[in-house]
Chains A and B, each alone.
Chain A
């Protein structure tokens, strides 16, 4: 069964600290893995997308890693800011040539406190 599991479910950190969110998946065939940030009351916004051959990708203070062998990904946030408070969703695409069927994780709710 295609599944994406994220941990932790929620996380509270102090402003300026780093944190790492985890994503494990059992999706086949694998096409790509995406991390989305969803602010409260808004639609998800893409942070990174990685294909099978990529093992790291950065977007500003966000760095995603992918280990296709162990089927694990992480999202590392450096020097957190209050605006990083959001839900972070890991999404794996099974792949088809026009967008990919997406399997969504339940998300990690991050709260950055001053």
Chain B
């Protein structure tokens, strides 16, 4: 298994632009998680899905952030409009009952 796949690995964009991050979870996992990691705040859970349904989005910072999971093999995290404070590494993880496997992350820089 290739593990959790994220794209792009790096994204540089200008303030105000729309950014879409993509994730392909490990086949057979029924939970998918989006995290953000910064030096100041560490790892933060943004949202998680179970069986493609959003269960808890209390970590989503504001309305500029949205996440979708149209099927079991794909999820997106969208930021519109992006701001410099959104610069971070965004991780996607998938898992079953007791374990989560993280993807390599997308490093987002908003200038």
Residues on A facing B (Cβ under 8 Å): 32, 41-46, 49, 89, 97-99, 101-102, 104-107
Q: Are B56 and A98 in contact (CB under 8 A)?
A: no
Interface status of B103 (Cβ within 8 A of chain A):
yes
Interface class of chain A by DSSP:
loop
Among residues 55 to 106 in chain B, which have CB atoms less than 8 Å away from a CB atom of chain A? 55-56, 91, 93, 95-105
The CB with the most chain A CB atoms within 10 A, among B44, B50, B95, B102, is that of B102
Closest 9 CB pairs of A and B: A43-B102, A99-B31, A104-B43, A98-B50, A106-B42, A44-B102, A43-B91, A43-B105, A43-B104
Residues of A within 8 A of B55 (CB): 98
Minimum C-beta distance from A92 to chain B (A): 12
Residues of A within 8 A of B48 (CB): 99
Residues of B within 8 A of A49 (CB): 98-99
Residue of A nearest to B58 (CB): A101
Among residues 15 to 51 in chain B, which have CB atoms less than 8 Å away from a CB atom of chain A? 30-31, 33, 42-45, 48, 50
